[in-house]
Structure 1
Amino acid sequence: MATMDLSKIPNEKKLHLCKWYFRAGFALLPFLWAVNAVWFSKEAFIAPPYEEQKQIKRYVIFSAIGAVIWTAALLAWIIIFQTQRAAWGEFADSISYIIPTGIP
């Protein structure tokens, strides 16, 4: 997996980019939280200490937590919907894009 090369970016810009990805994740784009957590994890936990690192670490942790929560919620919805779709009847049909044939 390729990661972004953050070594050429000034620390202030790293913080700005990390903060931007974190905030953009609130626009129902949890994938950005996952990307943020992956891209900046080395910067937050492995790189030698610098002034902005503490804030970056905070954004990385919250991004990872947000991505995990969204993943768990999506997985729960998929499992519930797939196992209960037939029992939900007309309501499930109305929220389905493709209605499987052969299920009463």
Structure 2
Amino acid sequence: MEASRSDESNLSPNRDQRSNLNPAHNSMISSGQVWPTIDGPLGLTEEASVDYARRFYKFGFALLPWLWAVNCFYFWPVLRHSRAFPQIRNYVVRSAIGFSVFTALLSAWALTFSIGGEELFGPVWDKLVMYNVADRLGLAGLA
């Protein structure tokens, strides 16, 4: 019986040391607090997070839709917890929708050109593709 107690006491400190490798994570779980960014307590405050989420969302319309993906990634806890941070969630959900629509349109466009090709577009194909720009401008025979 005493040997098993000493084994348990030897095991429990190691277990506690392993679980305390990330004290911020443990305190977040024990207190039940949700942080707006993936950085946890090391990240932005809630006020700054609203500003950053708004900026990422608006700049995504400036032909930078990858910022919508960054917004979704950085504010993943906001997407995960539906009732937390309603001001930030508004921008992050819109960013997720925008990035999904952009990805669907880009994929459809790429698949149309790669699968359809010349059979789909006919004689207009030569004007649409970019691999013959040097031939059209007369630059191919200069070397």
TM over 0.5: yes
* Higher deviation after alignment, 80-89 or 30-39: 80-89
Q: Paired residues, what number?
A: 94
Give the drift of 1:90: 3.6
Distance 2:56 2:99 in 1: 12
Partner of 1:5: 39
Higher relative contact order, chain-length normalized (CA < 8 Å, sep 6+): 1
1:91 aligns with 2:124: yes
Structure 2 residue corresponding to 1:62, chosen from 90, 94, 99 = 94
**Structure 1 stretches of 4+ moved >3 Å:** 43-46
Distance 2:129 2:41 in 1: 46
Partner of 1:102: none
Tell me which structure has the larger Cα radius of gyration. 2
SS at match of 1:98: coil
Q: How much identity, in percent, do the aligned residues show?
A: 33
Q: TM-score, normalised by structure 2?
A: 0.57
RMSD: 2.3
Once the two structures are superposed, what CA deviation does each residue of 1:3-45 show, in whole Å capped at 9, x if it has no partner?
Answer: 8625332211111001000000001111111110111121454
1:22 aligns with 2:54: no
Structure 1 residues not aligned, in runs of 5+: 100-104
Q: For residues 74-85 of structure 1, what are the structure 2 equivalents within 5 Å?
A: 74-85=106-117
* Higher deviation after alignment, 85-94 or 29-38: 85-94
